[in-house]
Amino acid sequence: MKKFKRIMSGLKIRNDDLVLGIGSGDNPFARADVLVDKFPMVVGRHRTSLMAARVDERPFIIGDAQALPFVDDAFDAIISRHILEHLPRPEEFIADIKRTGKRGYITTPSPFTELIHGGFVDEEKAFAPEVIEALHHGKGIEGHKWLVLGLDNHIYLTAKSQALYGVYLMFGSFIKKNTEYVRDTFFDAHPRWRETEIFWDRDKLQMSVVEDITPEAKEDDPIDLAEIVKSCRALAEGREQRTSWKGKLWRKVSSGREFELAKLLACPQCKQPLRIGEYVMTCQKCGEYPVVNDIPLLLKEFLNKAGEIHADKLYHHN
Ligand SMILES: [Zn+2]
């Protein structure tokens, strides 16, 4: 709650501000009015929380942080927590948050956290050759590709290169095995060492890549339509219960500002407004995107794939 208040005051969120939460996952930001996430369910390397995305009465959209499915200037503020370090093409993310939002908040693990913990769930496996190999390709257990540093409105990224994994394996293990280092105690005393935080302003935000990731690591992971459809159906059923405390908190902190979601949505490819139908959303230029139980699947990978959902009988709409 302390952190929530700090983000709210850092961004000077007003009552009638429209707020987007990117990569909302199982812990959507309480004040976000619209939620967007690419991976709604547990998919090994994308989530460590082992929790499905949390969906309440707020609009929830399947979309990519690097190709946001919203019109220009759609939001007053954008919250993005623990997303940037995963992205293959962060420059597209920066361009798109500046296009769609006036200001925002980004947080990632600090470079220290990355080097000490390396994204491993199971420390005992840290030295296994296949783990080192996987990390080198940006596909560690948490799939973090970057070390992220934020100074004022400037974000610096450095690839988690093979050399850095070497540093992690030696340095991280050495500290943990040879000191009284206890993660939570340490971070409670030094909160800035836990996370990188950036409060950004559209006119000032810049990003520099100190060392780039490999061309291979720049490719998006494949995404499975049938899997996403299944997840969305499950989420939509959960939504109907509307009992989550996050949802209740949102009702408490939200201004209750009325907005028309349809007017905010855009084609993730060409950014033109979409024509909203019951079963599909149509871009006049690019084609149709599927809608599953009121959740729009606005990913370029799913363009003109609505037919496949019907064919597989996965599609359902109340
Ligand atoms: Zn389009």
Give the pLDDT confidence of 107-143 residue by residue, as tens digits: 999 988 888 876 554 566 666 777 666 665 555 445 7
pLDDT at 1: 72
CA 60–ligand 1 middle distance (angstroms): 20
Residue 293 in 3-state DSSP?
coil
Give the pLDDT confidence of 101-117 residue by residue, as tens digits: 999 999 999 988 888 87
Q: Which residues surround ligand 1, an ion (CB under 5 A)?
A: 267, 269-270, 283, 285-286
Average model confidence (pLDDT) for the chain? 83
Check if the beta carbon of residue 58 is closer than 8 Å to that of residue 34: yes
Rounded Cα distance between 307 and 310, Å, is: 5
Smallest CA-to-CA distance from 32 within 222, 253, 275, 240 is with: 253
pLDDT at 317: 46
CA 277–ligand 1 middle distance (angstroms): 15
pLDDT at 123: 62
CA 34–ligand 1 middle distance (angstroms): 21
β-strand pairing of 295-298 with 60-63: parallel
Smallest CA-to-CA distance from 114 within 88, 90, 148 is with: 148
Rounded Cα distance between 232 and 239, Å, is: 10
CA 212–ligand 1 middle distance (angstroms): 29
Distant-in-sequence, close-in-space partners of 116: CB < 8 Å, separation ≥ 6: 168, 171, 172, 175, 176, 181, 183
Smallest CA-to-CA distance from 43 within 223, 235, 219 is with: 223
Integer angstrom CA distances of residue 302 from 83, 150, 182, 208, 298: 21, 34, 45, 31, 7
CA 72–ligand 1 middle distance (angstroms): 14
CA 298–ligand 1 middle distance (angstroms): 10
The torsion angles phi and psi of 76, rounded to 5 degrees, stand at: -80, -35
CA 274–ligand 1 middle distance (angstroms): 8
CA 272–ligand 1 middle distance (angstroms): 6
pTM for the full predicted model: 0.87
Name residues of the chain where pLDDT drops below 50: 43-51, 121, 140-141, 315-318
Element (H, E) at 156: strand 154-159
CA 79–ligand 1 middle distance (angstroms): 25
CA 284–ligand 1 middle distance (angstroms): 7
CA angle, residues 18, 149, 51, in degrees to nearest 5: 60
CA 176–ligand 1 middle distance (angstroms): 50
